[in-house]
Chain A
Amino acid sequence: MAAPMLRWGCRGRRWAFARVDGGSCHRRGAPTGSTSNQIRGESSVAQQPLHTAQKTRKGEHKWAAVVGLEIHAQISSNSKLFSGSQVRFSAPPNSLVSFFDASLPGTLPVLNRRCVEAAVMTGLALNCHINKKSLFDRKHYFYADLPAGYQITQQRLPIAVNGSLIYGVCAGKKQSQVIPKTVRIKQIQLEQDSGKSLHDNLRSQTLIDLNRAGVGLLEVVLEPDMSCGEEAATAVRELQLILQALGTSQANMAEGQLRVDANISVHHPGEPLGVRTEVKNLNSIRFLAKAIDYEIQRQINELENGGEILNETRSFHHKLGCTMSMRDKEGKQDYRWFMPEPNLPPLVLYDATSLPAGADPQQVINIDQIRETLPELPSVTREKLVQQYGMLLEHSFTLLNEVGLLEFFQNVIKETRAEPKKVTSWVLNTFLGYLKQQNLAVSESPVTPSALAELLDLLDSRTISSSAAKQVMDVKNRNPRAINKLIGLVRKATQSRADPVMIKEILEKKLSL
């Protein structure tokens, strides 16, 4: 058979460390990109220690929950997995559709090199075995937004298998201790995204937008090694950070770049696993935790009341906060059937030992070469933060989990003479506290890293006191009454010789209000 033909797509951003999300969802009310502490705080069921929550009423048996995840991450690439159409969020409907994407008869798939590299890179970062030969399959189902009637995916032999993801769960009295946990990764497969159906119920019409049809996805299958919503949420957050650090996916859940389905069952420890349900439609980390914990509790209640669990697909209704059976044919049909994709030869990858002499570097992908270009992963970044600045591990988690916070922190560190520990404390407590209070993302902060650095310098040189510095922060954060306190301080310092109006003018100018 012929060698796989690869298109050259330009690389997306490689090193997207602590990327600032452009989505609006993070801003108001629902801090999805929050610290693990907060995820926990927001998931009502998980707030109680799980073993108590899962005890039967009679107290005879404990219940244990088993959670596995299927995660779809949209690959950050300029063009789609098998066609040359652009990939862009929120473009006008059907403006990014090639003949292949619309499944015009006679069109054929051509594999995008960038997507393969992204899959290899992700596989390596997740400690996977990279298969030097992988295959493509067709998965068939009739769906209006799946124009060909099948999705090209990797069923039989995926590109990466047998990996692991290490994430940290907070524990201890004040949730201040981080316990590392591992979830096994079954496989990572390359596949096509579908288009979008927009249902206009008023006119009983369905409108189809194919812009997303054919965008490359990484399906990451996590083994059922998790036991509650928080663990699942934390694992997903860690994966999100890794994908963003690699630049292989923007992994923004609000924009659908990261989508999670959860397989959930409960059983008594030591007994066989229970019947599982699949919960779909989990489009934020917060809802993910909520939905899983709800579903665990629902299954326990069902079983304790003598009911049985059906092997079914359920959807999480985020307004009602519960999961509901999808009485949809798709659930029952169990994705009808697979067939090898005959238009794509096996995808063959090479390493330093297998690379054929004189191979055209544009036509081959070298795993070892990709390994060498792997950027720093979040776990390493955290370790460095702990070593370099002497901060606690959980602080390093918070710095990475909050979008844009690490960059902010590093910029402050660069510009100030203040002790790293002081900077850490100011950034994580005072600064982040203000942001949370005001419901702002780091990118929306009125305080720049330079301003905070200058403030910390003044504090460091004992020019101002700690309380004065906090008041400056208050003013910077648009607290109108705060400036009066500062005026008072200046008047005190000048022994009431200065004109309050002038002081106010000068202060406002200095604080660039």
Chain B
Amino acid sequence: MLGRSLREVSAALKQGQITPTELCQKCLSLIKKTKFLNAYITVSEEVALKQAEESEKRYKNGQSLGDLDGIPIAVKDNFSTSGIETTCASNMLKGYIPPYNATVVQKLLDQGALLMGKTNLDEFAMGSGSTDGVFGPVKNPWSYSKQYREKRKQNPHSENEDSDWLITGGSSGGSAAAVSAFTCYAALGSDTGGSTRNPAAHCGLVGFKPSYGLVSRHGLIPLVNSMDVPGILTRCVDDAAIVLGALAGPDPRDSTTVHEPINKPFMLPSLADVSKLCIGIPKFQFCILTFCYKEYLVPELSSEVQSLWSKAADLFESEGAKVIEVSLPHTSYSIVCYHVLCTSEVASNMARFDGLQYGHRCDIDVSTEAMYAATRREGFNDVVRGRILSGNFFLLKENYENYFVKAQKVRRLIANDFVNAFNSGVDVLLTPTTLSEAVPYLEFIKEDNRTRSAQDDIFTQAVNMAGLPAVSIPVALSNQGLPIGLQFIGRAFCDQQLLTVAKWFEKQVQFPVIQLQELMDDCSAVLENEKLASVSLKQ
């Protein structure tokens, strides 16, 4: 049952094959078994069981609230949850219990979903590995998969297995691990530069970033207000569409949400034919890697990813779609531009954490200023403090025009690149999500957070600059037996069209289910619904 998709388990609940409480308990027991993954910061067991009980009553009375009623979900720990600790994986907010629910959390609860817990992340979502939170790094469930283990056995150089676990990617790595390890059916992430799509690619999941303004940010503790969106992590595209259907729509508490009526529910048609589609292939990768980032020693796009990308393009072409190369000349400046805009907003957004109203407060009481300084030094990690420092520098009166204003202009150019591409007739753009598959933790931490974020966001970041919808779809396993994802980017507010194309593609590639036999003793329950690992895009 746990291995099923959200839609499938929803049907099972409706047919009475399983009750919400049974489902909730199965997930809770799996959460306990996979505790070592460090996916959850807080497990809200009591809340979930109580919600399950209420859901069960509704099913008994034939008053189900819909597809999400009784479905276990997890929420990244940077969404406010009423009465449940919300930490942002930071000392600053340890022990902070919000008095209100984020709009997206409230909407899920209103649909009857069961909140299993709050998932791990990089501190204040600043990172691309889920390695830089105060509660420690998240481990990628694929580290323990049969697929990966078997490949490693063939490798004579493989070292100590236990210390060689892989990162999930980030910053929503906890949410990705939670869904990937079958502890819930969907999870909320947040996406500012790729934080939902990146871990989705590394964990073999669908990671969806909706159009900016389609889903409310109220209650999402901000990283960059003008780029943040709540993201959705699921095991298939249809599931993402169900969750989006529950979340999308204007929110009077978020003035940046749009008023246009949203088509509900987000039912995705099954595309029979892609011959009317035009797929754009951006030719921006080499420019990024060689021109702009010499100082970062950016590793090349892995040949496996490169080859899967072109095979995916071939697949569309062979099915009759028009595939054209498009130019996005300014996207190569996205990362530097992002660095200025992100740190500036971070400096501003983090100003509220002064230890007065909530959160951590130091013991020093010599003066208000001394208290601020010590509180913030103790409360934030190096990454957060570094970004605050940069941001303050960029926003200084004498620097403002040269950095912040220029970065905003570049942002407009990046957004215009996409507009031009879509105006030229392209329906969706196809790119890699990440440079390569997930790397081992020990490898990952050889570079600092800033370098890693710059590398890992290369394909995902520009989308946030432009506010477009984008989704990472798992395509195939690498030679090492690890998932690789590709990204589709759609027109603003054409989220449904984007997901429809993604669904067609998902069906073609038949990505294999993660096999966690070695991880869990009673894996039979998990794998009862296992599909055949028929990868049509084999290397």
Contact A2-B396, Cβ < 8 Å, known A105-B352, A107-B218, A339-B348: no
How many pairs of A and B residues are in contact by the CB < 8 Å rule? 113
Answer whether residue A110 sits at the interface, using C-beta atoms and an 8 A cutoff.
Answer: yes
- Taking a contact as CB atoms closer than 8 A, the residue among B220, B352, B395 that contacts A149 in the complex is B352
* Nearest CB of chain B from residue A362's CB, rounded to whole Å: 12
Say yes or no: B356 contacts A147, CB within 8 Å.
yes
Say yes or no: A111 contacts B348, CB within 8 Å.
no
- Per-residue interface assignment for chain B, residues 390 to 410, with 1 indicating a CB less than 8 Å from any chain A CB and 0 otherwise: 001001110010001000000
- Which of B93-101, B178-186, B196-204 lies at the binding interface? B93-101
- Per-residue interface assignment for chain A, residues 1 to 38, with 1 indicating a CB less than 8 Å from any chain B CB and 0 otherwise: 11111010000000000000000000000000000000
Answer whether residue B33 sits at the interface, using C-beta atoms and an 8 A cutoff.
Answer: no
* Nearest CB of chain B from residue A37's CB, rounded to whole Å: 45
Answer whether residue B20 sits at the interface, using C-beta atoms and an 8 A cutoff.
Answer: no
A1 and B253 CA atoms in complex are apart in Å by: 16
Say yes or no: A103 contacts B352, CB within 8 Å.
yes
- Taking a contact as CB atoms closer than 8 A, the residue among B222, B253, B354 that contacts A110 in the complex is B253
Which B residues lie within 8 Å of A3 (CB)?
259
Which A residues lie within 8 Å of B351 (CB)?
140, 142, 148-150
Answer whether residue A336 sits at the interface, using C-beta atoms and an 8 A cutoff.
Answer: yes
Answer whether residue B368 sits at the interface, using C-beta atoms and an 8 A cutoff.
Answer: yes
Say yes or no: B99 contacts A104, CB within 8 Å.
yes
Say yes or no: A106 contacts B80, CB within 8 Å.
yes
A10 and B100 CA atoms in complex are apart in Å by: 26
- Which of A177-185, A265-273, A342-350, A452-460 lies at the binding interface? A342-350
Answer whether residue A109 sits at the interface, using C-beta atoms and an 8 A cutoff.
Answer: yes
Answer whether residue A426 sits at the interface, using C-beta atoms and an 8 A cutoff.
Answer: no
With both beta carbons as reference points, the residue of chain A lying nearest to B98 in the complex is identified as: A104
Contact A149-B354, Cβ < 8 Å, known A3-B259, A5-B252, A108-B253: yes
Number of interface residues of A (CB under 8 A): 37
* Nearest CB of chain A from residue B261's CB, rounded to whole Å: 13
* Nearest CB of chain A from residue B143's CB, rounded to whole Å: 32
Main SS at interface, chain A: loop
Answer whether residue A391 sits at the interface, using C-beta atoms and an 8 A cutoff.
Answer: no
- Of the candidates A7, A339, A343, A344, the one having the most CB atoms from chain B within 10 angstroms of its own CB is A339
Which A residues lie within 8 Å of B220 (CB)?
106
A430 and B395 CA atoms in complex are apart in Å by: 62
A104 and B352 CA atoms in complex are apart in Å by: 8
Which A residues lie within 8 Å of B254 (CB)?
108, 343
Answer whether residue A393 sits at the interface, using C-beta atoms and an 8 A cutoff.
Answer: no
With both beta carbons as reference points, the residue of chain B lying nearest to A149 in the complex is identified as: B351
Contact A345-B256, Cβ < 8 Å, known A105-B80, A148-B351: yes
Answer whether residue A208 sits at the interface, using C-beta atoms and an 8 A cutoff.
Answer: yes
Say yes or no: B396 contacts A99, CB within 8 Å.
no
Answer whether residue B17 sits at the interface, using C-beta atoms and an 8 A cutoff.
Answer: no
With both beta carbons as reference points, the residue of chain B lying nearest to A101 in the complex is identified as: B357
Contact A110-B100, Cβ < 8 Å, known A2-B257, A147-B356, A149-B351: no
* Nearest CB of chain B from residue A140's CB, rounded to whole Å: 6
Answer whether residue B345 sits at the interface, using C-beta atoms and an 8 A cutoff.
Answer: yes
A337 and B226 CA atoms in complex are apart in Å by: 18
A339 and B345 CA atoms in complex are apart in Å by: 8
Contact A150-B348, Cβ < 8 Å, known A102-B357, A109-B255: yes
With both beta carbons as reference points, the residue of chain A lying nearest to B226 in the complex is identified as: A342
Answer whether residue A374 sits at the interface, using C-beta atoms and an 8 A cutoff.
Answer: no
Answer whether residue A466 sits at the interface, using C-beta atoms and an 8 A cutoff.
Answer: no
Say yes or no: B252 contacts A110, CB within 8 Å.
yes
With both beta carbons as reference points, the residue of chain B lying nearest to A208 in the complex is identified as: B356
Which A residues lie within 8 Å of B252 (CB)?
5, 7, 110
With both beta carbons as reference points, the residue of chain A lying nearest to B405 in the complex is identified as: A340
Which A residues lie within 8 Å of B462 (CB)?
none
Which A residues lie within 8 Å of B396 (CB)?
336-337
- Taking a contact as CB atoms closer than 8 A, the residue among B221, B226, B372, B397 that contacts A106 in the complex is B221
Which B residues lie within 8 Å of A111 (CB)?
255
- Of the candidates A4, A7, A109, A142, the one having the most CB atoms from chain B within 10 angstroms of its own CB is A142
* Nearest CB of chain B from residue A353's CB, rounded to whole Å: 23
A158 and B98 CA atoms in complex are apart in Å by: 34
- Per-residue interface assignment for chain B, residues 81 to 100, with 1 indicating a CB less than 8 Å from any chain A CB and 0 otherwise: 00000101000010010111
Answer whether residue B258 sits at the interface, using C-beta atoms and an 8 A cutoff.
Answer: yes
Say yes or no: A105 contacts B348, CB within 8 Å.
no
Answer whether residue B483 sits at the interface, using C-beta atoms and an 8 A cutoff.
Answer: no
| 28 pairs from A and B in contact (CB 8 Å cutoff) | A1-B256, A2-B213, A2-B259, A5-B252, A99-B100, A102-B358, A105-B96, A105-B98, A105-B353, A106-B102, A106-B219, A106-B220, A109-B255, A111-B255, A140-B351, A140-B395, A144-B356, A147-B357, A149-B348, A149-B352, A334-B397, A336-B392, A336-B395, A337-B395, A338-B395, A339-B404, A342-B345, A343-B256
A-B pairs with lowest CB-CB distance, top 3: A149-B351, A342-B225, A342-B226
A residues adjacent to B (C-beta < 8 A):
1-5, 7, 99, 102-111, 138, 140, 142, 144, 147-150, 206, 208, 329, 334, 336-339, 342-345
Q: A107-B219, A342-B225 are in contact. List 6 more A-B contacts (CB 8 A).
A: A2-B213, A2-B256, A99-B99, A105-B96, A208-B356, A343-B255
